Amino acid sequence: MIECERFVIAAWAALHKLAWPAEGARKMNPYSDLVRVVDRKRYSVKTATLLASDAYWDGHNWERSGRNTWLYRTPRGRYFTVTRTCWQGERDSLEPVTEGEAIALYEGALSEHALDYEAAFPGVTVEDA
């Protein structure tokens, strides 16, 4: 059954001119042991909760212009991003962001959500439009 489902999905992708990820296609992931101290505060991927990212297969690759960004929340409620790059001359980074910046990223460019809004931003009130 799984092979049949894969065939149907591959046929749909071909019809819509989307490439199926090749076997072994490499998806960029954040380093699980990445740690950075900023303003005497330790930010660690290992102890933080992943909230969102922009890592998805778009029919050609996993990266957005050669980069991916992940949004995290620390156990103490601080937010930070990890950005990885494929480009020579650029460096991977871990940058603290404010809660407002984290919300803007979650609602905007980082469309792959690991948690729903309420779980990602405890205490933030969402109103009906």
How does pLDDT run across 77-117, given as a tens digit for each residue? Answer: 999 999 988 788 888 899 999 999 999 999 999 999 999 99
CA nearest to 47, candidates 68, 92, 78: 78
Question: What is the model's pLDDT at position 123?
Answer: 92
42 φ/ψ angles, rounded to the nearest 5 degrees: -90, 125
**Among candidate residues 38, 32, 37, 52, the one with its CA nearest the CA of residue 121:** 52
| Highest mean pLDDT pick, 7-16, 44-53, 86-95 | 44-53
Determine contact, residues 21/9, Cβ cutoff 8 Å.
no
| Per-residue pLDDT at 41 | 97
